[in-house]
Amino acid sequence: MAELRPRDPKGQREGFTTGACAAAAAKAAARVLARGAAVDAIETTLPNGQKVTFPLQRCDRDGQRATCSVIKDAGDDPDCTHGAELVAEVELRREPGVEIRGGDGVAVVTKPGLGLPVGAPAVNPVPRRNITEMVLEELEGSGFAGATVTLSVPQGEEMAKQTINARLGLIGGISILGTSGIVKPYSTAAFRASVVQAIDVAAERGIATLALTTGGKSEAYAMKLYPELPEDAFIQVGDFIGTGVRHAARRRIARAIIVGMIGKLSKMADGKMMTHAAGSEVSMELLAQIAEELGARPEIAAEIRQANTARHVLELCQREGLTGVAGGICRRVVEHTSRHAGGALEVHACLVDFNGALLGRYPAGAASAASAEKAEDP
């Protein structure tokens, strides 16, 4: 493993990105060829400018080719690529420039909208630049001006099954990622970036209606509610509904259907566009007001105000026959998210229970996604 990263303020250890590990492996292989001697560790410069020494898992030379590898240490981030071996095979050449190819376990781009050409290996722009810089650094004074770098990840195709790569059109393995070289534990920035990327893919495909869901279960329920939508239209935004609706509007998506359960939707109904438990709470006061608008007796409203969870509120309302509460929550979700998107996005909302049954939606008489899109066609 590379040098241990310091712990963040929460006591969690940072790690290194696949891009940083790939750049280190490529730099080491280039050094072996340029200097003619094997190495067991390599100091590299991360995209953020920090210098880090990575021990090598492998360092071999076969004639004009050298192969080195680095084991990824993701720190305390629960990444499926933790422990992955990033392998770089390098062949030097007299012609200037560094060509980066993808081998086994590195995904191939098959859909537009990912910032990479279709058919290219899934090596994102920052890691690509970092790999190029690190290899060229080793070639100074060697008589060589360029190199061919082939990246591979043993078991990468299996690892990718735990990601959304296939849905995004990244087929055959994992992506080589990272903007700083550092993995932040439970990185919210990484998740937000994945939401943006998924919306970009949908936009490039010309999808007019997205189903933005708060998690895996709500996504499965949304797929049953809207079977006419293509798979790329379903996007798990998690806690980042604000990012979802704003970026959808920015990409000129016509419509977003928000599908979730009462906890997350109650927070959105209160205007919270980031719904993580640590950053926002359900307003029992708001839920009581919605119930009162529907004729809830004072003692029931008081009980709602004292409820422990949004799920408890749902049970109380169902017991009292206040079936319109779910629709009232959805109406407020639509109002807040539409405003957050700058009025440039048509928003619908659906509240489902924990078994996927539809409890309420707004607009109440909303047509299916398919019929709505047909109505827009000239």
Rounded CA gap, 265 and 282, in Å?
9
Rounded CA gap, 37 and 90, in Å?
14
Domains for the chain: give ranges and CATH numbers.
Answer: 15-183 (3.30.2110.10), 191-376 (no CATH)
- Which of 128, 178, 120, 343 lies closest to 246 in space, CA to CA? 343
Per-residue pLDDT at 376? 40
Pairing of strands 41-45, 358-362: unpaired
Taken in order 88, 94, 96, 99, the sign of the CA dihedral is negative
Per-residue pLDDT at 14? 87
Identity of the amino acid at 317: C
Q: Left, alpha or beta for 261 (phi > 0: left; psi -120 to 50: alpha)?
A: beta
Pairing of strands 97-102, 146-152: parallel
Q: Reduced to 3 states, what is the DSSP secondary structure of residue 260? A: strand
Instruction: Kindly list the strands in the beta sheet with 255-260, ordered across the sheet, starting from the edge strand earlier in the chain.
Output: 234-236, 209-213, 255-260, 346-352, 358-362
Identify whether the C-beta of residue 163 lies closer than 8 Å to the C-beta of residue 80.
Answer: yes
Model pTM greater than 0.85? no
Per-residue pLDDT at 27? 98
Per-residue pLDDT at 158? 97
Structure tokens at 306: 């004292």
Per-10-residue mean pLDDT, the chain, length 378: 51 87 98 93 96 97 96 85 97 96 97 90 96 97 95 98 89 94 76 91 96 92 97 94 97 98 94 76 93 94 90 90 95 97 97 93 70 40
